[in-house]
């Protein structure tokens, strides 16, 4: 029987109705078919962001499993015919209430990164079990936090989703958490002081979005001890305000010492994660994850892109890099009413536009027909 560590995510009917997405450049094509695509907004002055569009084809996907392969290049290329539909390229338009913004972040530098760059065999050492951030990593977190605050993301993000490993949790609470924690305030902190002997002060859960730990966005599972998590009980004692309720087992039953996920399996898991993410009610979400997970999840969609855009998508994240996407609901699955649209005509009155009147009554006096009469 194939190894299917995330099979429980397949049981959600709401989740499974969303077709499998593929990736295509925003500037060249606009499609009326499909169910969900995403616009990765280009922020020219933003060192943490890059750009493209993610969308899905009309046919429903086959059942997903952690062991199934990602779409082949032939499947992706089969949708290249859509390019003939919009030869002009250019601008796309879609109702804002059918969109969701996500900000993808790779964790800051961990001790395993330093050791592994010097000798790749160090990734096999239990000395780096669930590796924490280095002092340089904490400086990277501080710089990301300054950026998040300066561009106003801290005021817009409604939820922070984090992979349940020490380095991602430290990055998430450091970048998106509240200011310094005070014992006089009767709320649990996001991180207790000196968590894991990090020599860092406690981080408050006040005036910041909620945090949710999700195993679906973990790094490659298996073999490397740095990617094996601690018990949820231990995490809860160190990060009291983080919600770990979506994690099924206290101990890490997904990591195996002799079996490591393939890149295709990670890419498939990334598709599952994006589909699940769409079912969330929040409109703007930050996700703090890992290099391999982010790289292979995005690379799964790069085959149908222009080379320049594909290069932007299909490259590894730097430590503490942030890139921003917009998910768009084309199928009306989980659609919500707009909070900003206004119906007009309140109170009701005569409001026939002149151009409509001309079409309805082209021969009427004072309204010229198409020949100018």
Residues annotated catalytic, as ranges:
107, 219
Q: What is the secondary structure of 126-184 as a DSSP string?
A: GGGTT--B-HHHHHHHHHHHHHHHHTTHHHH--EEEE-SSHHHHHHHHHHHS-SB--TT
Q: What is the secondary structure of 88-141 as a DSSP string?
A: T-------GGGEEEEEEEE---BHHHHHHHH-GGGGG-GGGTT--B-HHHHHHH
- How are beta strands 159-162 and 211-213 bridged, if at all? parallel
Give dist(CA 269, CA 273) in Å, integer.
Answer: 6
User: Which H helix or E strand runs over 263?
Assistant: helix 263-278
How is residue 268 written in tokens?
Answer: 């498939």
Instruction: Output DSSP code: residue 299.
Output: H
- How are beta strands 211-213 and 322-329 bridged, if at all? unpaired
Q: Could you count the other beta carbons within 10 Å of the beta carbon of residue 135? A: 10
Give Cβ neighbours of residue 304 (< 8 Å, ≥ 6 apart): 22, 23, 24, 76, 77, 79, 80
Helix (H, G, I), strand (E, B) or coil at 51: coil
């Amino acid at each position: 029987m194939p190894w299917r560590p995330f099979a429980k995510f397949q049981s959600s009917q709401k989740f499974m109705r969303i077709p499998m997405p593929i990736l295509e450049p925003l500037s060249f094509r606009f499609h009326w078919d499909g169910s969900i695509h995403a616009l990765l907004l280009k922020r020219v002055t933003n060192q943490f962001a890059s750009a493209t569009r993610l969308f899905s084809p009309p046919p429903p996907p086959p059942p997903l499993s952690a062991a199934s392969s990602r779409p082949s290049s032939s499947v992706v290329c089969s949708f290249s015919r859509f390019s003939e539909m919009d030869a002009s390229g250019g601008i796309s338009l879609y109702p804002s209430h059918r969109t969701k913004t996500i900000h993808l972040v790779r964790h800051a530098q961990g001790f395993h990164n330093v050791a592994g760059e010097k000798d790749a065999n160090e990734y096999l050492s239990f000395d780096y079990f669930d590796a924490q951030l280095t002092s340089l990593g904490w400086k990277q977190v501080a710089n990301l936090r300054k950026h998040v605050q300066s561009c106003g993301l801290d005021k817009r993000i409604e939820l922070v989703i984090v992979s349940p490993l020490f380095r991602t949790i430290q990055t998430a609470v450091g970048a998106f958490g509240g200011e310094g924690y005070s014992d006089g305030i009767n709320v649990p902190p996001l991180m207790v002081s000196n968590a894991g002997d990090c020599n860092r002060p406690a981080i408050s859960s006040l005036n910041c979005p909620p945090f949710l730990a999700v195993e679906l966005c973990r790094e490659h599972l298996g073999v490397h001890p740095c990617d094996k998590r601690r018990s949820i009980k231990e995490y809860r004692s160190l990060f009291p305000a983080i919600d770990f309720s979506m994690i099924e087992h206290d101990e890490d039953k997904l990591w195996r010492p002799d079996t490591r996920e393939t890149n295709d399996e990670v890419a498939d898991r990334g598709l599952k994660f994006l589909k699940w993410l769409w079912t969330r009610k929040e409109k703007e979400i930050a996700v703090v994850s890992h290099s391999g997970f982010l790289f292979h999840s995005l690379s799964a969609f790069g085959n149908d892109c222009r080379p320049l855009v594909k290069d932007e998508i299909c490259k590894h994240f730097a430590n503490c890099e942030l890139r921003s996407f917009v998910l768009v609901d084309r199928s009306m699955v989980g659609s919500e009413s707009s909070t900003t649209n206004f119906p007009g005509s309140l109170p009701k009155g005569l409001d026939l536009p002149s151009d409509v009147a001309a079409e309805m009554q082209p021969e009427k006096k004072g309204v010229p027909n198409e020949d100018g009469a």
